[in-house]
Amino acid sequence: YYYYYYYYYYYYYYYYYYYYYYCHYYYYYYCHYYYYYHYYYYYHYYYYYYYCHYYHQYHCHYYYYFIEKVSVWWSNLPAVAQKDVPDAVVAAIKQQQQEQEQQQQQQQQEPQQRQQQTTTPLNDGNFNAFT
Protein backbone atom coordinates (compact mmCIF):
# COMPACT_ATOMS: atom_id res chain seq x y z
CA TYR A 1 0.00 0.00 0.00
CA TYR A 2 2.80 2.42 0.81
CA TYR A 3 4.49 1.78 -2.52
CA TYR A 4 1.42 2.53 -4.58
CA TYR A 5 0.59 5.58 -2.51
CA TYR A 6 3.98 7.09 -3.21
CA TYR A 7 3.70 6.20 -6.88
CA TYR A 8 0.47 8.12 -7.20
CA TYR A 9 1.80 11.06 -5.21
CA TYR A 10 4.79 11.36 -7.51
CA TYR A 11 2.77 11.42 -10.69
CA TYR A 12 0.33 13.93 -9.30
CA TYR A 13 3.02 16.58 -9.02
CA TYR A 14 4.68 15.45 -12.19
CA TYR A 15 1.55 16.14 -14.19
CA TYR A 16 0.84 19.40 -12.43
CA TYR A 17 4.26 20.76 -13.26
CA TYR A 18 4.13 19.95 -16.93
CA TYR A 19 0.63 21.29 -17.19
CA TYR A 20 2.34 24.67 -17.24
CA TYR A 21 5.59 23.79 -18.91
CA TYR A 22 4.33 21.75 -21.80
CA CYS A 23 1.80 24.29 -22.92
CA HIS A 24 4.90 25.96 -24.37
CA TYR A 25 7.02 22.98 -25.36
CA TYR A 26 6.65 19.30 -26.25
CA TYR A 27 2.88 19.29 -26.17
CA TYR A 28 2.63 16.82 -29.04
CA TYR A 29 4.94 14.33 -27.38
CA TYR A 30 3.45 14.69 -23.94
CA CYS A 31 -0.07 14.45 -25.22
CA HIS A 32 0.71 11.10 -26.78
CA TYR A 33 2.53 10.07 -23.65
CA TYR A 34 -0.67 10.37 -21.68
CA TYR A 35 -2.70 8.89 -24.48
CA TYR A 36 -0.52 5.80 -24.37
CA TYR A 37 -0.76 5.35 -20.61
CA HIS A 38 -4.24 6.55 -19.84
CA TYR A 39 -7.04 7.36 -22.25
CA TYR A 40 -8.81 9.72 -19.86
CA TYR A 41 -5.80 11.93 -19.25
CA TYR A 42 -5.33 12.36 -22.97
CA TYR A 43 -8.54 14.34 -23.22
CA HIS A 44 -8.05 15.95 -19.85
CA TYR A 45 -4.69 17.36 -20.86
CA TYR A 46 -5.94 18.27 -24.30
CA TYR A 47 -8.59 20.47 -22.75
CA TYR A 48 -6.17 22.26 -20.46
CA TYR A 49 -3.75 22.72 -23.31
CA TYR A 50 -6.08 25.27 -24.82
CA TYR A 51 -6.89 26.71 -21.43
CA CYS A 52 -3.23 27.30 -20.77
CA HIS A 53 -2.70 29.00 -24.08
CA TYR A 54 -5.68 31.22 -23.52
CA TYR A 55 -4.10 32.48 -20.29
CA HIS A 56 -0.63 32.34 -21.76
CA GLN A 57 0.57 35.73 -20.53
CA TYR A 58 -0.84 35.20 -17.07
CA HIS A 59 1.02 31.94 -16.62
CA CYS A 60 4.25 33.33 -17.97
CA HIS A 61 4.13 36.09 -15.37
CA TYR A 62 4.61 33.51 -12.62
CA TYR A 63 6.60 31.13 -14.78
CA TYR A 64 10.07 31.34 -13.26
CA TYR A 65 8.82 31.44 -9.70
CA PHE A 66 6.93 28.22 -10.27
CA ILE A 67 9.87 26.54 -11.97
CA GLU A 68 12.15 27.47 -9.09
CA LYS A 69 9.94 25.74 -6.55
CA VAL A 70 9.51 22.63 -8.66
CA SER A 71 13.23 22.38 -9.38
CA VAL A 72 13.91 21.97 -5.68
CA TRP A 73 11.33 19.22 -5.49
CA TRP A 74 12.71 17.56 -8.63
CA SER A 75 16.25 17.41 -7.26
CA ASN A 76 14.96 15.54 -4.20
CA LEU A 77 13.26 12.80 -6.21
CA PRO A 78 14.71 9.30 -5.92
CA ALA A 79 16.81 8.19 -8.87
CA VAL A 80 14.39 5.34 -9.54
CA ALA A 81 11.51 7.74 -9.98
CA GLN A 82 13.52 9.98 -12.28
CA LYS A 83 14.26 7.05 -14.57
CA ASP A 84 10.55 6.78 -15.37
CA VAL A 85 10.67 10.20 -17.03
CA PRO A 86 11.57 10.34 -20.75
CA ASP A 87 14.99 11.72 -21.68
CA ALA A 88 13.43 14.62 -23.57
CA VAL A 89 11.69 15.75 -20.39
CA VAL A 90 14.88 15.60 -18.33
CA ALA A 91 16.76 17.59 -20.96
CA ALA A 92 14.03 20.23 -21.01
CA ILE A 93 14.20 20.61 -17.23
CA LYS A 94 17.96 21.08 -17.25
CA GLN A 95 17.69 23.65 -20.02
CA GLN A 96 15.03 25.55 -18.12
CA GLN A 97 17.13 25.60 -14.97
CA GLN A 98 20.05 27.08 -16.89
CA GLU A 99 17.84 29.77 -18.41
CA GLN A 100 16.50 30.60 -14.97
CA GLU A 101 20.00 31.05 -13.56
CA GLN A 102 20.92 33.38 -16.41
CA GLN A 103 17.81 35.46 -15.88
CA GLN A 104 18.52 35.81 -12.16
CA GLN A 105 22.02 37.05 -12.90
CA GLN A 106 20.66 39.66 -15.30
CA GLN A 107 18.10 40.84 -12.77
CA GLN A 108 20.81 41.34 -10.18
CA GLN A 109 22.96 43.38 -12.56
CA GLU A 110 20.22 45.62 -13.98
CA PRO A 111 19.41 47.58 -10.77
CA GLN A 112 23.08 48.47 -10.31
CA GLN A 113 23.36 49.72 -13.87
CA ARG A 114 20.18 51.79 -13.60
CA GLN A 115 21.38 53.37 -10.40
CA GLN A 116 24.66 54.44 -11.98
CA GLN A 117 22.88 55.93 -14.97
CA THR A 118 20.09 57.80 -13.21
CA THR A 119 21.71 59.07 -10.00
CA THR A 120 23.43 62.28 -11.06
CA PRO A 121 24.80 64.22 -8.06
CA LEU A 122 24.07 67.94 -7.88
CA ASN A 123 26.30 70.21 -5.78
CA ASP A 124 23.73 72.08 -3.67
CA GLY A 125 25.40 73.29 -0.51
CA ASN A 126 26.26 70.58 1.99
CA PHE A 127 24.28 67.71 0.42
CA ASN A 128 23.90 65.85 -2.85
CA ALA A 129 20.50 65.63 -4.57
CA PHE A 130 19.81 62.87 -7.04
CA THR A 131 17.68 63.15 -10.14
Rounded to two decimals, what is the model's pTM?
0.23
CA dist 107 and 109 (Å) reads 5
For the stretch 15-30, pLDDT in tens is 444 444 333 333 333 3
For the stretch 83-102, pLDDT in tens is 555 555 566 667 777 777 77
The domain limits of the chain are: 2-93
For the stretch 29-62, pLDDT in tens is 333 334 433 333 444 333 333 333 333 333 333 3
Cα four-point dihedral sign 46, 47, 53, 56: negative
